[in-house]
Structure 1
C-alpha cells in the first residue's frame, strides 16, 4: 500500500489517506471536493485533529480507544455518518445525544474543520471526524457488528441516468455496511431527490439483513424524524419545491 499523501497543512487531515483506493475499480462513497479552508477551520484542525480525527488509511480501528475520553458507557453505541457537509446537523445530534459516539466521515476539508470547530466550541467529546473513503472504513477498519447505526443524509443524487451507478446506496455497498451493524442498529437515509428516494427504498427493502420500520405505511418515515435537524441543503431543496423523504430501517 502506498503511503498517505502529506496533509494540506501541518497537523491536519491527509490529502489522500489511502491512495491505492483511488485505483480500485469500484464505486466510491465520495466525490472529491476542494474548497477554501478558513483560518478558524484550519486552526481547529491543527489543534484537535490528532485527538479527534482519523485518516482512513485501512488500519483496523478500535472504537473503544477512539472514544476513550468521551465518557461513554462501556457498551457505548457508535453511529457512522457518511457525508456530513459542514457538520452543523452532526453537531446538533451529538449535543442532543451525548451518550452516543458519532463517527462522521467526509472528504471536504472545510467541512471537517467546521465540524471540529463546532465540537470544540460546544464541548462535544462524542464526535470523531473521519477523512477519506467510507468503503475503506467499513471494509478494512471496522469489526463486524461494531456499529449501532448508519446515517446517510442527502448524498449526491447523480440525477443523470448514466450516472446512477455512482450513487452510494447500492446493493453491494449496503451489504458491506449491514455486516458492520449490530442487531437492532438503525439505518437512516434522507434525500430530497424523489427518484433517488425510490431507489433507496427498493435497495434497502431488498437487503435481507434489514427491516423497514415504516413498512406498514408508505415505506418512508413520515413525518420527518424529529431527532434529525434540518440541513442547509434540505432547506435549499424545499425552497426549490423538492420533497424530502426519510427512510428508517433496522438491522435484524
Structure 2
C-alpha cells in the first residue's frame, strides 16, 4: 500500500496495498492466488489501539466474506459508498469521514496497528460512517463489490516501489484500474495521490488509458478540499517534495 493514509516503503506517508511476491505480476484480473494487494509491515499494537479493537472492533470491523456486501445493512442507512484502499494509521480517513458525514466509507487495511489506530480515532471523534475490512483489497473488490456499487474510490500514497526493477509491484496497474472503474457508478470518481513523481506520471498514464474513465483536470488535479495534508505530507513539503493528485470519473 508510518502514519495516515497509505505509506511508501520508505519514510514517506502511509502503508498501502501493493503486490507482495518477488517478481510477481501486478494486481489485476489475472494473477496467481498467492499474490496479495499489500505488504505486511512490522509494527506493534499499542495498549490504546488494542482497547479500541476490543471495544469498537465488533461494530466497525467487518468479517470478510466472498459474497456481495449489503452496504445499506452494514452502515444502517442508504448513502454514497466510498472505498479506501490502504489507510495506514487512519489520520486522513478519519478527517475525510468527519467532513463528509453524508457518505459511507468502506476502508481496507491489513496492518493491525493501523486498524487499531483508526478504531481509536473513530471512538475519539464519534464517527459512525466508517467500516473496516482487515483483508486483501483485491479479494474484497473481486468478491464483495459488484459492478456499479461504488460512488468513489480513494488510494492515497500507495507504496511507490522506487527501484525500477520493483515498479511492477505497484498497485496502480491497468488490470486493477479496469476492475475499479467497473465497480464505479456512472459519475463516480477514482482519486489517487502520491508524493513520488514517477509514480504520479504512471498513475496519470494508466488512468488515462482506461476507456471507462475521464480525467477531471488537464493532467494532475488540484488537491480536493476533503483530502487533508497529513503530518508526514507536511514534513515532505517542507523538504521540497511534491504531492500529485489524480482524479478521474466513470463516464458511462
Deviation at 1:116, TM superposition (A): 0.9
Q: Following the alignment from structure 2 to structure 1, what is the Cα–Cα distance between the partners of residues 231 and 165?
A: 27
Q: Which residue of 2 aligns with 1:46?
A: 54
Could you say which structure has the larger radius of gyration?
1
Q: Which residue of 2 aligns with 1:178?
A: 181
Please provide the CA RMSD for this pair: 1.7
Q: Deviations over 1:24-44 (max 9, x none)?
A: 154x32111131111111111
Q: Which residue of 2 aligns with 1:138?
A: 141
Deviation at 1:226, TM superposition (A): 1.6
Which of 90, 94, 100 aligns to 2:93? It is 90
TM-score, L = length of structure 1: 0.84
Q: Which residue of 1 aligns with 2:33?
A: 24
Q: Deviations over 1:109-164 (max 9, x none)?
A: 11111111111121110011111111001001112111110000000000111111
Deviation at 1:23, TM superposition (A): 6.5
Which of 66, 80, 92 aligns to 1:58? It is 66
**Superposition misfits of 4+ residues, deviation over 4 angstroms:** none
Deviation at 1:240, TM superposition (A): 3.3
Give unpaired runs (5+ residues) of structure 1: 1-21
Q: Following the alignment from structure 2 to structure 1, what is the Cα–Cα distance between the partners of residues 159 and 169?
A: 9
Q: Following the alignment from structure 1 to structure 2, what is the Cα–Cα distance between the partners of residues 51 and 118?
A: 14
Q: Which residue of 2 aligns with 1:237?
A: 236
Q: Deviations over 1:7-57 (max 9, x none)?
A: xxxxxxxxxxxxxxx96154x321111311111111111111121102434
Distance 1:228 1:170, change over 3 A: same
Give unpaired runs (5+ residues) of structure 2: 1-30
Distance 1:204 1:23, change over 3 A: closer
Q: Following the alignment from structure 1 to structure 2, what is the Cα–Cα distance between the partners of residues 25 and 162?
A: 20
Whether 1:36 and 2:51 are equivalent positions in the alignment is no
Q: Which residue of 1 aligns with 2:221?
A: 221
Give the length in aligned residue pairs: 222
Structure 1 residues 56-205: aligned runs within 5 Å: 56-68=64-76, 72=77, 74=78, 76-205=79-208
Per chain length, whose mean CA-contact separation is higher, i.e. which structure has more relative contact order (CA < 8 Å, sep 6+)? 2
